[in-house]
Structure 1
Amino acid sequence: MKTRYEQIVEVSHIASEKRDHIPSILSLAGQEQIPPASADKKRTLLLAIDIQNDFMESIGSLPVAGSRADVHRLTQWMYNNMASLTQVMCSLDCHSLLQIFHADWWVDRKGNQPKPFTVIRYRDVMDGTWTVSHADTLEQSLVYLKNLETEGKKELCIWPYHCLEGSSGAQLESQFANMVYFHSALRQSKPFLVYKGQDPYTEMYGIIKAEYDNNKFVNHAVLEAIRAYDAIYIAGQASSHCVLASATQILEYFAEDKAITSRITLLIDCMSPIAGFEESTRQAFGSLHERYGIQIKKSTDIIL
């Protein structure tokens, strides 16, 4: 390509307050002559999980150590494989203030809200350690906590306020956004944006479904989109939570179709775990490899 990587991504501005510069990106893409994605014989998908400002170290409210370097490696991989990357799908965490995993939802006996990373269990509410701020949410909150236990899901964790609707923290990281829209203009391929996490009564780590919800929502539109690709590459933040949950949900859905599960590759150097979850994440990914035949590789080892 005529356009250099450095014209699209300013490495020093990854995970900074620097805004994207998409108008100039579109101008650069217009100077290139690469066939549109619709001409691809082998269709490839990048599934980018929650590459948003609030998960970026130094600027985010819920920063993931290593995220800056992850974005650098991922955008370099996208650039190197621009002519063969058919589609980019981005999940976007999107929350309101009053959600079950935010402090506003809960108070203790003295009326104090929980601090970030407090774990609240069903028994904590039953014994009065914690209760809801709004009485009309109590019954459904108890149902949620009880089902987390009975279904063996992650315990409810109070997260710092993050990815609030319309906030800068909810936006795609700026330099990643530059590369996404350069790809979009160059390959004539509209990014597939998937919003998740808007149900106030549940957590939604994975892109396909919540940890538990009464309606049993499953994002079939995303699953059917994934089915259409010959190769699927997954990256994003955090590997220990939203990436792991997304990959697991996709693999469980296609469990009986090894032709699909074997198409999936985790770009392991383009994601990082939340501190303290390093070993459990490594083991979980290893289990997915053994059970479903997915590949786990560094981005530098993959040329499309």
Structure 2
Amino acid sequence: MKTPLHDIFEEHRIGLSSEIGLNTLLDKASLEELSPASNDSEKILFLAIDMQNDFMEKGQLAVPGSHQDIHNSVRFLYTHLEKITRIAVSLDTHQPDQIFHPIWWMDAEGNHPAPFTVITPEDVQSGKWLPVHDGKESLAYVQKLAEQSKKELCIWPYHCLEGSYGAALESQFANMVFFHSAARRSTPLRIVKGQDPLSEMYGIIKPEVAIADEPGNEELLRELKNYDRIIVVGEAKSHCVLESLRQILEYYQAEPDVTSRIVVLSDCMSPIPGFEESTEETLAHFQETYGITVTTSTACTL
């Protein structure tokens, strides 16, 4: 008998700690009479990007709509528990002293920039904002962002600090990940990103500014190719989800058989406010150019 959803998922505690003990949860998962994931004839990967506490609506870098995204993602996983072969989760992982955090920069009066301040090469060259250390490298970074037409350097609130509550997977989503793992004997794939102090890393494959011709996480890229379908959810739609998609699609641009396997669940991700229009334009471009599917968690059938 299938475990009732309410024994796994406490909707009222999205963004809070779980009141369901993991031992209780996993004991119930072990009673599920499901075929091991290794027996799946169609291999399906559920790729969740940065579903972490700090991106929830009360987190340090809150994404409006993220609680509903968790709700929809959990229900989708529950509905398709016996079809999803493996769950992969990316974990944005930072230290306080990184180039996109306030402590890295200072003005002439010794003030650090407020969160969401944008720093351009001109700001650094004029002395409006100066790095506290690694001056040459910091200027080179913002210059490379401009040269490569990347997003400008944005100073983000301190978020996803390694070992903190904010860096952990959201509790209700984590419950479903662990339940699936035990019920289907499938070890979750964890993708740690964002640890380079001198670069932002929105995408799961490589930093914003990477070594020329460096493909990034080749092991992950090879792993993705093992699946017949790749279901993508996560936060924030406008930044880490979009850049992850871009990096994967550009790597496999000559292999439409691979790019067409990607399915984006649009109701399981939300953009940072102000980026809505550009996000939808980019997703439409990905659909047209690479053949990805954009649908919803209720319309997608496995």
Q: TM class, shorter-chain normalised?
A: over 0.9
Q: Out of 178, 187, 191, which is 1:190 matched to?
A: 187
Partner of 2:8: 8
Q: State the 1:303 CA deviation.
A: 2.0
User: Residues 10 and 18 of structure 2 are in contact (CA less than 8 Å); yes or no, is this contact kept in structure 1?
Assistant: no
Going from structure 1 to structure 2, the CA distance change for 1:19 and 1:153 (only over 3 Å counts) comes to farther
Pick one of 153, 158, 165 that aligns with 2:155: 158
Give the 3-state SS of the residue equivalent to 1:143 in structure 2: helix
Q: Does 1:201 align with 2:201?
A: no
Choose from 208, 213, 234 the match for 1:211: 208
**Offset, 1:20:** 5.8
Q: Where in structure 1 are there 5+ consecutive unaligned residues? A: none
TM-score calculated relative to the size of structure 2: 0.98
**What do residues 274-298 of structure 1 show as CA deviations (whole Å, max 9, x unaligned)?**
0111111111100100000000000
Q: Deviations over 1:64-94 (max 9, x none)?
A: 0000010000000000000010000000000
The match for 2:39 is 39
Task: Determine whether 1:22 maps to 2:22.
Answer: yes
Task: Give yes or no for contact 1:184–1:191 (8 Å, CA) kept in 2.
Answer: yes
Q: Does 1:226 align with 2:227?
A: no
SS in 2 for 1:206: coil
DSSP-derived class of the 1:91 partner = strand
What percentage of residue pairs aligned between the two structures are identical? 50
Q: Indicate whether 1:122 and 2:121 are aligned.
A: yes
Q: Find the counterpart in structure 1 of residue 256 from structure 2.
A: 258
| 1:181 aligns to 2:166 (yes or no) | no
Tell me if the contact between 1:262 and 1:295 (Cα under 8 Å) persists in the aligned partners.
yes
Aligned residues: 301
Question: Matched residues in 2 for 1:286 and 1:26: separation?
Answer: 40
Note closer, same or farther for the CA distance 1:159–1:86 as it changes in structure 2 (3 Å cut). Answer: same
SS in 2 for 1:300: coil
1:103 and 1:40 map into 2 onto residues whose CA distance is: 47
Whether the aligned pair in 1 keeps the contact of 2:102 and 2:113 (CA below 8 Å) is yes
| Uncovered stretches (5+) of structure 2, i.e. residues with no partner | none
Q: 2-side partners of 1:276 and 1:150: how far apart?
A: 23
Cα distance in 2, alignment partners of residues 295 and 18 from structure 1: 33
Aligned to 1:49: 49
1:165-206 per-position Cα deviation (integer Å, ceiling 9, x unaligned):
100000000000000000000110000000000000000000
